[in-house]
Amino acid sequence: MELKLADKYKKIFPLLNEKQRRLVAASDAEFIGRGGIVKVSQASGMSRSTISIGMKELQSGSIAEKGLKVSDEEFQKINIEKDGFHGEWNYVIKPSDE
């Protein structure tokens, strides 16, 4: 079964985005039942926690949002030290003085 799943994922995953892959894997894990998360994880290379998140999304009918929303005011309070080399993505967040 794991070989068939692996073949399925090799064919379909390149066509899907991250959320879609997570939901397909979760659906397969639910279909398999006991041990489904481990089998799907082994066949897909996806982490068990990612599959579990997908299962919760399927059960609740909503997709988990990624990231934390921070207001401009809150962002200004963060002590960020930007590096001289590509500071837009190369930085250190230091503890605040507050």
* Domain residue ranges in the chain: 2-60
Strand partners, 92: 81
pLDDT of 32 > 80? The answer is yes
Q: Please, are residues 27 and 16 in contact by the beta-carbon 8 Å criterion?
A: no
List, for residues 44-83, the tens digit of each pLDDT value: 999 999 999 999 999 888 765 667 777 888 888 888 888 8
This prediction's pTM: 0.61
DSSP assignments along 3-56, one per residue: HHHHHHHHHHGGGS-HHHHHHHHHHHHHHH-TTHHHHHHHHH---HHHHHHHHH
